[in-house]
Amino acid sequence: MTALRDAAMKSKAWPFEEARAVLKRFEKKDPEKGYVLFETGYGPSGLPHIGTFGEVARTTMIRRAFEVISDIPTKLICFSDDVDGMRKVPENVPEQDMLRQHMQKPLTSVPDPYGEFASFGHHNNAMLRRFLDTFGFQYDFISATEFYKSGKFDDTLRLATERYDAIMKIMMASLREERQQTYSCFLPIHPETGRVLYVPMKNVDAVNHTITFDDEDGREWTLPVTGGHVKLQWKPDFGARWAALDVDFEMYGKDHSTNTPIYDGICEVLGGKKPNHMTYELFLDDQGQKISKSKGNGLTIDEWLSYAATESLSYFMYQKPKTAKRMHFDVIPRAVDEYHQQLRAYPTQDIDAQANNPVWHIHNGNPPASKMVVPFSMLLNLASVAGAKDAKGLWGFIKRYAPDASPEGNPDLDAAAGFAVRYYTDKIAPTRAFRLPTDQERKAMEDLRARLAAWDGGLNDEALQSMVFAVGKDHGFEPLRDWFKALYEVLLGASDGPRFGGFIALYGVEESIALIDKGLAGQLITQA
């Protein structure tokens, strides 16, 4: 552990950098609560999206990194803001008309449109937990509904009435003049309708810890702020929760970053110490738009796991968290292959390099050995020409390329073969577009065919790649990537692909000759 701790203390891997920053909080003394608390927040207004998973995955990476550099115990809380009023109906759920009848009610008071749980909030919480459990995260789950109603938040809420003016001063500085006239950090839950009300306060009683307000019909009400009768506006809620739970670390998306001084200020007004925070960039869909729970755009966790193993998603989440990234189906193959590249590199690295390797953080310092002897991108191309319906249909080619491989001995490769067939069928086949070669390309492909017909170098992918490279050079392709692009477009119906020599080695020399013949004859166009 000493060598690893030494490596971790100087590692430039972002989880270790963030962990070291958290450790600085406790230079003078350990936390009084006996542990370091990492928190992630979740708004269950719609089905959990992949960004939510990313937040928990990344926070877990920092937590595990912290456990390497410190002996202080840790906890991770996943907090669901399920008292939030439903402001709009998500587009990707059933029973739209029914849901519209419950606008502004807390999500745990809205009926479940799927008819499976006590409420829409309970349904979305269950989905979140199922997703998190799939990945084996260790966390404590807290429902805001339970947090407010059980009294666990009461001391902080009472303090909020006593320090109402200080909270409002922080909030007013961030609001337009028109919004200032009606704003209150307290949102009463109407005793009759159950709706979350956005109304100004007539009185905030710091002695009795009550609020007085008029509802939308002009009727006056006085409610205690405790016991779940009142909730906080979301920005004050953020800071108040930090104070109530004594949170030490929380990350959030860039869209929250301008609110950080507000969250911190309210936390301190309510007697807490502001936590360390990390801001990450947002995920974008294929159109470059922010992915959203309510829109249902971008990838879901289930969709990713239909085409690749869980570790590939964790790898994607690890990469450059402070850089905005497109999250669409086309990022999956690269994530799979890069993950296995890092796995293969890990055993050969010294401890400093291992501490910087993403797989250390994905697997908490104990990454498995990769048995992926064929890249996922290559499997996709094989699926496109082999006509396979499942993994078994690819194994004949794989065995010829890697005789020692087997479904039993290479379970990750076997799973990847199945994923590749599914990915090809769903995502590639519908968009394939073959074309005829130009005159220059035709002559080069005829030359390639002739050299393959005379080939006696076996299934050596490096030698085959060199030969393919030489053909392109001999036929004057400049840049050479235009030659490979032509091969992909004419023979595979795609604009790019893996090393073509590796593809020939996997698919077979004779089979590749037959494929070239079909491409030159235009048969691939008619078959598509």
- pLDDT greater than 80 at residue 139: yes
Is cis: bond before 48, omega within 30 of 0?
Answer: no
The pLDDT tens digits of the residues spanning 173-189 come to 999 999 999 999 999 99
Domain regions of the chain by residue span:
2-283, 376-431, 439-527
Tokens 């587009």 belong to residue: 91
Choose the most confident range, by mean pLDDT, from 232-241, 285-294, 324-333, 381-390.
232-241
- pLDDT greater than 80 at residue 242: yes
Handedness of CA 21, 26, 32, 36 (dihedral sign): positive
Looking at the domain that runs over 439-527, which CATH code has it been given?
A: 1.10.10
Instruction: Using a pLDDT cut of 90, give the percent of the chain over it.
Output: 82
- pLDDT greater than 60 at residue 293: no
Burial level of 425, CB count in 10 A (0-12/13-18/19+)?
middle
Query: Please, which pLDDT band fits residue 250 given cuts at 50, 70 and 90?
Result: very high
How far is the CA of 288 from the CAs of 48, 163, 191, 469, in angstroms?
20, 43, 43, 35
The pLDDT tens digits of the residues spanning 22-54 come to 999 999 999 999 999 999 998 887 666 677 788
Per mean pLDDT, which range of 221-230, 293-302, 340-349 is the poorest?
Answer: 293-302
CA 455/CA 135 separation, integer angstroms: 47
CA 303/CA 427 separation, integer angstroms: 12
Name the amino acid, one letter, at 120.
Answer: F
Does 439-527 match 2-283 at the fold level?
no
pLDDT of 324 reads 83
Query: Please, which pLDDT band fits residue 286 given cuts at 50, 70 and 90?
Result: low
Looking at the domain that runs over 2-283, which CATH code has it been given?
A: 3.40.50.620
pLDDT of 57 reads 93
Report the Cα 290 to chain-centroid distance in Å: 13
Across 232-239, average pLDDT: 95
pLDDT of 159 reads 98
Query: Please, which pLDDT band fits residue 134 given cuts at 50, 70 and 90?
Result: confident
pTM assigned to the model: 0.91
The pLDDT tens digits of the residues spanning 64-111 come to 999 999 999 999 999 999 999 999 998 889 999 999 999 999 999 999
- pLDDT greater than 70 at residue 291: no
- pLDDT greater than 70 at residue 155: yes
pLDDT of 209 reads 98
Across 461-469, average pLDDT: 95
The pLDDT tens digits of the residues spanning 185-225 come to 999 999 999 999 999 999 999 999 999 999 999 999 999 99
Query: Please, which pLDDT band fits residue 496 given cuts at 50, 70 and 90?
Result: confident
Per-chain mean pLDDT for the chain: 93
pLDDT of 497 reads 81
- pLDDT greater than 80 at residue 252: yes
- pLDDT greater than 70 at residue 296: no
Is residue 206 within 8 A of residue 188, CB to CB? The reply is no
CA 272/CA 162 separation, integer angstroms: 15
pLDDT of 150 reads 94
B/e letters for 191-208, b = 16+ CB within 10 Å, e = fewer, are eeeebbbebebeebeeee
Query: Please, which pLDDT band fits residue 253 given cuts at 50, 70 and 90?
Result: confident
Q: Is 324 helix (H, G, I), strand (E, B) or coil?
A: coil
Choose the most confident range, by mean pLDDT, from 51-60, 61-70, 118-127.
61-70
The pLDDT tens digits of the residues spanning 10-25 come to 999 999 999 999 999 9
The pLDDT tens digits of the residues spanning 426-462 come to 999 998 899 999 999 999 999 999 999 999 988 899 9
